[in-house]
C-alpha cells in the first residue's frame, strides 16, 4: 500500500457524491500525507457507474460491489448505499482487509452493528462512520468551552433534529418506510446524529424513557396500485440521563413542515449556556453570567481560522464552511487513523454506542418503560 491509497466508492447518490468530493479534495485542503487515487466507483446499472465515474474522476467503474471489494488494488472502501446493504458490504470489505468508511446508521439492527464492530476489531482494519456534524469547528469549539469551564458545571442538555422530507402525506412510499430496508425511521436517519453530538458534549447516556409515533401510517405506492404501510417511526422523543448525572431531552421528526435541517441543541451550565443550530452551522450562541446584569445577553461566536481546521479552507472569518467541507474533515480523520494506527472518531466501536441509544429509544417506546443502556 505504501503512501498511495486506492479508494473504492459504492454509491453515487447524495452521500456518494460527498464522499467523492471529500476524497478528491482532502489532500489539497487538509495537507494529508497520503496520496489518494480514485480507483473504482460502483453503482447500478453499469452505464450509470461509468458515466458517474467520469464525472467524479474515478479511473474505473463497475456494477459488482463484491468484485470491487475483492480487488487487491483497493485499500479503502466508502459505503454510501441504502441502510440494508451496509452490513454485507462492510463485512466483505473487512474480511478482505480493507479500511472502511461507512455512512450512518451502521446497520439495520444492533446485532448487525455488533457483528461489524467485532469483525473490524478482529481484522485490525481502520473504520469510520459518517457522523460529519461532530467534525464541525463550531462543535469542537463548544467542546472546548465546556472543558474550560466557561459555562460551569453542565446540568442539562436539550436537543432536537427536525426535517420535513416525510411531512407530506401524499409523498409516495419508498424503502425508507420498510423496516427490512431502512431499519429505524427518524431515529436511524436523523436522531443518531443528535445522539453523536449529545455524547460529544455531555458524555455517555446511562438510561432513557422514550415514545415514538408514526404520523402517516400509509403512503401511496409509486405504481398507483394502492397504499403501503409505513413500518417505522416518523417522530421520537426521549428523556435521558447521562452517566455523569446530567439530565436532558432529545427529540426527532422527519415530518416537521418547514424544517430543512433543524439539528439544534442547548447545553445548560451553572454559569451559562451554549446553543447551536445546524441551519446556521458556522455560529455558536454563548451566554455567560458575568458582568452587569444590564449588559448580559447571548453573544454570537462566528467560526473562523481560530477554530481549527476552519483555516485550512479559508483564511478569513465569516466566509462560512458547508456540509461537504465537514466530509473533508472527516476524510482527513480517517486517513490520520490509517497512518497512525490510532482509531479515528467515531470508528465502529464508538458509533456502536450511538446506535445502542437509538435502539434503546425504540425499545423503551415499545415496552413503555425506562431502559438502561447496559441492558441493550
24, 186, 197, 279 from 234: Cα distances, Å = 35, 6, 21, 21
Predicted confidence at residue 44, as pLDDT, reads: 97
Predicted confidence at residue 304, as pLDDT, reads: 97
Distance (Å, whole) CA 43 – CA 9: 9
Total Cβ atoms within 10 A of residue 294:
6
Predicted confidence at residue 287, as pLDDT, reads: 98
Predicted confidence at residue 350, as pLDDT, reads: 98
Pick out the chain residues at pLDDT < 50.
Answer: 1
194, 287, 306, 314, 367 from 273: Cα distances, Å = 18, 5, 21, 28, 34
Contacts (Cβ under 8 Å, ≥6 apart) of 232 = 176, 177, 178, 179, 182, 183, 184, 185, 186, 188, 214
Q: Kindly report the pTM of this predicted structure.
A: 0.97
Total Cβ atoms within 10 A of residue 168:
12
Q: Which domains are seen in the chain, by residue range?
A: 4-132 (3.40.50.720), 133-372 (3.30.360.10)
Closest to 156 measured CA to CA, from 287, 246, 265, 286: 246
And the C-alpha cell for 20? 467523492
Beta bridge partners of 159: 250, 265
The answer to whether 143 touches 136, Cβ cutoff 8 Å, is no
Q: What is the dihedral of CA 6, 7, 8, 12, to 10 degrees?
A: -150
Predicted confidence at residue 32, as pLDDT, reads: 97
Distance (Å, whole) CA 6 – CA 289: 52
Contacts (Cβ under 8 Å, ≥6 apart) of 84 = 108, 175, 180, 181, 182, 183
Predicted confidence at residue 2, as pLDDT, reads: 67
Q: Where are the beta strands (DSSP E) in the chain?
A: 4-10, 35-42, 60-62, 76-79, 99-102, 127-129, 154-162, 205-213, 218-220, 227-229, 235-242, 247-253, 262-269, 272-277, 283-288, 299-302, 371-372
Beta bridge partners of 154: 269
The answer to whether 127 touches 348, Cβ cutoff 8 Å, is yes
> Which residue, chain included where needed, has cell 403501503?
228
Tell me the three state secondary structure of residue 209.
strand
Closest to 77 measured CA to CA, from 315, 338, 365, 358: 338
Tell me the three state secondary structure of residue 368.
coil
Amino acid at each position: 500500500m505504501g503512501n498511495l491509497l486506492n479508494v473504492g466508492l459504492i454509491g453515487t447518490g447524495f452521500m456518494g457524491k460527498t464522499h467523492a468530493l471529500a476524497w478528491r479534495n482532502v489532500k489539497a485542503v487538509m495537507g494529508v500525507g497520503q496520496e489518494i487515487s480514485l480507483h473504482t466507483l460502483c453503482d447500478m446499472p453499469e452505464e450509470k457507474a461509468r458515466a458517474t465515474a467520469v464525472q467524479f474522476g474515478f479511473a474505473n467503474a463497475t456494477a459488482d460491489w463484491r468484485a470491487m471489494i475483492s480487488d487487491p488494488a483497493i485499500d479503502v472502501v466508502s459505503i454510501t448505499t441504502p441502510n440494508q446493504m451496509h452490513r454485507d458490504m462492510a463485512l466483505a470489505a473487512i474480511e478482505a482487509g480493507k479500511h472502511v468508511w461507512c455512512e450512518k446508521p451502521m446497520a439495520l439492527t444492533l446485532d448487525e452493528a455488533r457483528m461489524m464492530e467485532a469483525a473490524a476489531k478482529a481484522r485490525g482494519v481502520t473504520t469510520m462512520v459518517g457522523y460529519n456534524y461532530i467534525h464541525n469547528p463550531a462543535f469542537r469549539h463548544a467542546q472546548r468551552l465546556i472543558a474550560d469551564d466557561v459555562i460551569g458545571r453542565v446540568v442539562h442538555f436539550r436537543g432536537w433534529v427536525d426535517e420535513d422530507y416525510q411531512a407530506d402525506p401524499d409523498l409516495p412510499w419508498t424503502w425508507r418506510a420498510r423496516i427490512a430496508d431502512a431499519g429505524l425511521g427518524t431515529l436511524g436517519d436523523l436522531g443518531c446524529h443528535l445522539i453523536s453530538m449529545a455524547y460529544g458534549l455531555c458524555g455517555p447516556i446511562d438510561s432513557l424513557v422514550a415514545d415514538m409515533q408514526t404520523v402517516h401510517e400509509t403512503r401511496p405506492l409509486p405504481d398507483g396500485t394502492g397504499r403501503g404501510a409505513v413500518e417505522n417511526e416518523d417522530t421520537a422523543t426521549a428523556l435521558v440521563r447521562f452517566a455523569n448525572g446530567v439530565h436532558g431531552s432529545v427529540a426527532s421528526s422527519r415530518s416537521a413542515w418547514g424544517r430543512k435541517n433543524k439539528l439544534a441543541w442547548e447545553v445548560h451550565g451553572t454559569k451559562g449556556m451554549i446553543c447551536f443550530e445546524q441551519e446556521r452551522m458556522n455560529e455558536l450562541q454563548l451566554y455567560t453570567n458575568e458582568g452587569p446584569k444590564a449588559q448580559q445577553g447571548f453573544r454570537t461566536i462566528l467560526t473562523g481560522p481560530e477554530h481549527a481546521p476552519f483555516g485550512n479552507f479559508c483564511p478569513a472569518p465569516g466566509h462560512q464552511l458547508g456540509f461537504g467541507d465537514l466530509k473533508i474533515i472527516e476524510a482527513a480523520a480517517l486517513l490520520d487513523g490509517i497512518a497512525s494506527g490510532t482509531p479515528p472518531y467515531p470508528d465502529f466501536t464508538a458509533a456502536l454506542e450511538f446506535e445502542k441509544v437509538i435502539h434503546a429509544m425504540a425499545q423503551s417506546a415499545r415496552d413503555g418503560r425506562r431502559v438502561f443502556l447496559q441492558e441493550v
